[in-house]
Amino acid sequence: METDHTAGKEQIGRSMSRVDGRLKVTGGAKYAAEYELPALVYGVLVTSTIARGRIRSFDTRAAEKLPGVLAIMTYKNAPAVPGYKDTDPAEKRVAGQELRVFFDDQIQFSNQPVALAIADTLEKATYAASLVNVVYDVQKPTTDLSANLTKAYTPERPDDYNRGVADAYKQAAVRIEQEYHTPVHVHNTMEPHAATAVWEGDNAVTVYNKTQGVSLAKKDIQKLFGLSPDNVRVHSPFVGGAFGSSSRIWPPEMAALLGAKLVKRPVKVVAKREQVFNLVGYRPESIQRVALGATAAGKLTGITHHAVGLTSQYEQFTERILHPTKSMYQSPNLNATYRLVGLDLSTPCWARGPGETTGSFALESAMDELAYALNMDPLALRRANFAETDPESKKPWSSNYLRDCYEQGARAFGWEKRDPTPRSMHDGEWLVGMGMSAGIYKSDRAAASARARLGADGSLLIQTAAADVGPGTYTILTQIAAETMGIDASRVRVELGDSAFPQAPPQYGSHTAVSVGSAVHDACQELRRKLAALTDNGKRDATAGQAEQSHETILRQHNLPELVVVTESKGGAELETVARRSFAAHFVAVQVHPTLGMVRVTKIVSAIDAGKVLNPKTARSQVLGAATWSIGMALMEEGVIDDRSGRYVNNNLADYHVPVVADMPAIEVIFIDKNDSVIDPMGAKGLGEISMTGMAAAITNAIYHATGKRIRHLPATPDKLMA
């Protein structure tokens, strides 16, 4: 194995291999469904075969009489959930009435849980679930967004936005106006959602579940069951992919919680692949109208953006679909609206770049169309409309190296070789296209806490209730701690994903490294101050280089078995004086077969301004992941629902296509890697989502360049491109 630990200084910014790598390559990392617990039994969900209506009756007799079956739980015998009755509307993360699992006879979407078969083996529970017979009163479901736009309403939490004159594009010298459509996009994490609940009596519960935020999950479970904070513990040290889908208490978790309460034994529930298509959220379908107006020289004079998204009938899920439009380009005039249509589907949820990914597909496609209308290079058009300050808040950027992204990305890609005429470039019989786009994504910082414990042997233990769903949080926190303490990274151990650890925000919204990294940084600084105070009453600069005496010597001299600090860290007022964003420029080359309409992405260059890069190795991997997701979104991923039944027709990985290794091109990742001096002490900004924002449009823009065919309705499947 490569030697990967260098001492003391300059740990941050180093390409360190993952500290949890060994556990992951040996099968030693434990995910939610993998805890061996005494008296564990299995729960298998029975889900509705209709999308709208009510349960008329159950016949559970055949299932109940099977040996090994403990219970068939339905709304008739499920334990009560006090939190379903009295939730403060202001506290709800999504407006409306959350899905109440096993609550009543109402069916609100297809595949809704109606029963849980609980048995002592997985096979018996599976068989028992198959014997539960449900009779429904069926109503015709409404699931087609396009056909129901007249039902669009303004959400309770509106996001309409105006500056300057409305519809100014209509007076512009050059203008375009188009409609863009993005389909349901399913996270499809490799690990299906799972939970094991273990009750001690009726008032204390431990849950091993798949969640991006143990602090948040704990709080939600506490509220749902009316428990005291000390009596709920959530474990989620390893998460097999999340991308936003593990950010609420979903039906599989509720089923485990309720089932375990009912049978008074630990119950494990693992969602089947077909169930993760709609029981744990998904990116909602959207229809967006974008109009752009510009001067003949390419200066934007007006932007109009009307977005409609789908949601369930019982909740109003909103996302940041208009955010890129508000801040990406300098335009004096902008009017934007956001509407929802409630359908007989489950509630969508946040999916990687929630809203920004969808909105930027429309905006960045429209910019490409405007460039052609202007007879202008698409990159030059974006440069001409660079926003020197945030057009929305009017505040200065905390940092903005988007111009460097444009420059370095274009150079590495070879943008100057592009003949702007569509269908002008070839490679053998294949049409060749080059496209680009820009991306913008918020860079938030939330309050976070960490515990740092220096042991008598000089080892350092960091504990925080953050998650590592894959970006490499264990590793970058190790680096931050090692550098701040001036010790070798091999002496640091980081523990995450336990709600008993100091509070941390969930891992979404690209703000873990910034928020939790700052907490770890501050905790280690505090430890150093304490050490310095021990050695010379605090006279020595606590942050100066390597301590002359080793930490263990200092502890020994003072007879201390350990030194522990818990620090909460959050940004100050300076955060509010600036607009905080990460930026990206994406360049994509494609080949399109002129007859068959097949698309191959052949090259991607992604240039990213995410501030200081804490670990280029793991950071690069995040951008590779975003490129993979963007290829999926642009070319193949589409949740298809039969509107006659309201049921999925492709809820499996053979029919819902995700990119495989053969679909992946060469990808070059460029980090501008310049410190942001405002947001956090490491100089970092958010990374996980910026690299996804806009990239799908770069792919379809390249397809337009190759073929002269504009794809405004994702995904760009061959049928849309056939000659």
Partner 1 sequence: MADQQHPDESAEHSGASRRDFLKQSSIMAAFAITPPAAVTAVEKGLHETIATRFEQMPLRVTINGAAQQLNIEPRVTLLDLLREQLNLTGTKKGCDHGQCGACTVHVDGTRVNACLTLAMTTEGCKVTTIEGLADGDQLHPMQEAFIKHDGFQCGYCTPGQIMSAVACIREGHADSPDEIREYMSGNICRCGAYSNIVDAIMDVKQGGQKV
Q: How far is the CB of 318 from partner 1 (least distance, A)?
A: 25
The one-letter amino acid at 337: T
Q: Please tell me whether the peptide bond between 420 and the residue prior to it is cis, using omega within 30 degrees of 0.
A: no
Q: What is the smallest separation between the CB atom of 360 and partner 1, expressed in angstroms?
A: 19
Nearer to partner 1, 183 or 192 (CB): 192
Q: Exactly one of 253, 356, 526, 689 is catalytic; name it.
A: 689
Whether 689 is a known active-site residue: answer: yes
DSSP per residue, 604-617: EEEEEE-BS-S-HH
In angstroms, rounded to a whole number, what is the distance separating the alpha carbons of residues 354 and 556? 51
Q: Which is nearer to partner 1, 12 or 678 (CB)?
A: 12
What whole-number distance in Å separates Cα of residue 346 and Cα of residue 306?
A: 24
Q: What minimum distance in Å lies between the beta carbon of 688 and partner 1?
A: 10
- CB neighbourhood size of 653 (10 A): 14
User: What's the min distance (Å) between Cβ of 167 and partner 1?
Assistant: 40
Q: Please tell me the distance from the alpha carbon of residue 693 to that of residue 354, in angstroms, as a whole number.
A: 9
509: left (phi over 0), alpha (psi -120 to 50) or beta: left
The DSSP bridge pattern shows strands 460-463 and 492-495 to be parallel
Could you tell me if 138 and 109 are in contact, meaning their C-beta atoms sit under 8 angstroms apart? no
Q: Which is nearer to partner 1, 281 or 298 (CB)?
A: 281
Q: Which of 33, 28, 3, 26 is nearest to 16 (CA)?
A: 3
For the bound state, the minimum distance from the C-beta of residue 191 to partner 1, rounded and expressed in Å, comes to 4
Residue 429's CB is within 10 A of a number of other CB atoms, namely 9
What residues contact 356, with CB distance under 8 A and at least 6 apart? 320, 321, 323, 324, 439, 440, 441, 689, 693
Give 30 or 383: the residue with its C-beta nearer to partner 1: 30
Cα dihedral 324, 327, 328, 332, rounded to 10, equals 130
How far is Cα 315 from Cα 701, in angstroms, rounded to an integer?
35
Min CB(626)–partner 1 separation in Å: 7
With respect to partner 1, which residue has the nearer C-beta, 268 or 323? 268
Contact 657, 636 (CB under 8 A): yes
Q: HEC profile for 39-95? A: CCEEEEEEECCCCCEEEEEEECHHHHCCCCEEEEECCCCCCCCHHHCCCCHHHCCCE
Q: Which is nearer to partner 1, 318 or 651 (CB)?
A: 651
What's the CA angle centered on 291, arms 290 and 294, to 5 degrees?
140
Whose tokens are 């294949």? That residue is 430
Q: Tell me how far apart the alpha carbons of residues 174 and 547 are, in angstroms, rounded to a whole number.
A: 65
Token pair 């260059």: residue: 605
Report DSSP letters for 237-289, one per residue.
Answer: S--S--TTTTSS--HHHHHHHHHHHHHTS-EEEE--GGGGGTSS--BPPEEEE
For residue 489, what are the CA distances in angstroms to 12, 19, 91, 476, 493?
11, 9, 40, 10, 8
Report residue 198 as tokens.
């273990």
User: Which two tokens mark 290?
Assistant: 């974008």
CB of 213 to partner 1, least distance (A): 15
Q: 634 and 699 in contact (C-beta within 8 Å)?
A: yes
C-beta separation of 351 from 248 below 8 A: no
Minimum CB separation of residue 415 from partner 1 in Å reads: 22
Q: Which residues pair with 304 in a beta bridge?
A: 291, 335
Would you say 47 or 333 has its CB closer to partner 1? 47
Please, how many CA atoms are within 13 Å of residue 513, restricted to the half-sphere of its CB? 29
User: Which is closer to partner 1, CB of 550 or CB of 652?
Assistant: 652
How far, in Å, CA of 209 to CA of 497, rounded? 10
| Residue 258 CB, nearest approach to partner 1 (Å) | 22
Q: How far apart are CA 177 and CA 181, in angstroms?
A: 14
- Identify which of residues 185 and 551 has a Cβ nearer to partner 1 in the complex: 185
Residue 361 C-beta: closest distance to partner 1, Å: 18
Residues carrying an active site annotation? 689
